[in-house]
């Protein structure tokens, strides 16, 4: 007959798990999933008039679509795309920033994606895919940069040095070109997809404040409790009457 030895540490661990106290280590994380919706009327997006640059206008004609500023993009189930979602505050023991760059392209005289997130210390890579001159100008007090990209295939990289919500990207050559970049010191952020959904994985167990940011409607916040090994659900709804705070209002495309 085998003897079973129960150590004090084993008993303590069992009690901790039974009481729901967060456990340190890889297992002490969970996932946050949710959706950001637009409950009010969906406003039309302004048309982009590219006549000032014949090459951009030609690219628009080839696409067969009238280009618009994709400010309010709503799916069939009212999901709001291009919304940045993050956890606020600081976190200990976060993994190092990835070496893989976050890519923003210029194609058809439009920045893609319109909203993206990046870690402090992670490269931002800008690629000109058009056969004409573009410019990537980061309007920021913390992470400023300004590059001219004279031809197709031009590539520039910038590594953000400080957290920022949000860094606005503009082209000094084509005034309608704009994008937004959320810079985080931690990896707990996401951007909503075309259906308004988001997922933030490997979140430390505990209570957190989760925030949304939309270029027209500003921020919403909630408190979410994440349990180790489980998925917490958090949904947000914009009515369409919200306004960005004064600092962010300066970033909104008219």
pLDDT of 192-225, one tens digit each? Answer: 999 999 999 999 999 999 999 999 999 999 999 9
Q: How far is CA 39 from CA 1, 45, 240, in A?
A: 66, 17, 7
Q: What is the pLDDT of residues 19-51, one digit of tens each?
A: 333 344 455 999 999 999 999 999 999 999 998
| Mean pLDDT in residue range 233-253 | 71
In the chain the domains, ranked by start, together with CATH numbers, are: 29-249 (2.60.40.420)
pLDDT at residue 27, as a whole number: 57
Average pLDDT value for residue range 110-116? 97
pLDDT band, very low/low/confident/very high, at 2 (cuts 50, 70, 90): very low
| Pair of tokens at residue 254 | 């008219």
Which tokens belong to 183? Answer: 């810079």
Cα→Cα distances 195→12, 36, 81, 156, 247, Å: 44, 9, 6, 31, 28
Contact 37, 79 (CB under 8 A): yes
pLDDT at 248: 41
DSSP H helices in the chain: 8-19, 54-63, 246-249
Give me the percent of the chain exceeding a pLDDT of 90. 80
Rounded Cα–Cα distance for residues 194 and 73 (Å): 7
Name which of 65, 89, 61, 72 is nearest 185 in CA terms: 89
């Amino acid at each position: 007959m085998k003897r079973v030895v129960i150590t004090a540490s084993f008993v303590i661990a069992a009690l901790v798990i039974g009481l729901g106290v967060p456990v340190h280590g890889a297992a002490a994380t969970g996932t946050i999933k949710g959706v950001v919706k637009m409950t009010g009327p969906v406003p039309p997006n302004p048309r982009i008039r590219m006549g000032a640059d014949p090459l951009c206008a030609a690219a628009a004609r080839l696409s067969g679509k009238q280009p618009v500023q994709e400010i309010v993009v709503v799916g069939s189930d009212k999901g709001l795309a291009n919304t940045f979602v993050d956890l606020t505050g600081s976190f200990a023991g976060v993994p190092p920033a990835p070496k893989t760059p976050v890519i923003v392209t210029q194609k058809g005289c439009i920045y893609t994606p319109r909203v993206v997130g990046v870690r402090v210390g992670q490269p931002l890579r800008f690629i000109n895919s058009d056969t004409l001159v573009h410019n990537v100008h980061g309007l920021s007090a913390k992470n400023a940069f300004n590059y001219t990209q004279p031809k197709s295939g031009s590539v520039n990289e910038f590594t953000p040095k400080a957290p920022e919500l949000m860094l606005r990207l503009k082209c000094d050559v084509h005034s309608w070109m704009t994008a937004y970049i959320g810079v985080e010191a931690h990896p707990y952020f996401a951007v909503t997809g075309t259906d308004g959904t988001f997922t933030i994985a490997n979140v430390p167990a505990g209570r957190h404040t989760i925030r949304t940011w939309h270029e027209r409607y500003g921020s919403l916040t909630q408190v979410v409790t994440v349990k180790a090994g489980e998925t917490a659900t958090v949904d947000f709804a914009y009515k369409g009457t919200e306004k960005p705070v004064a600092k962010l209002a300066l970033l909104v495309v008219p």
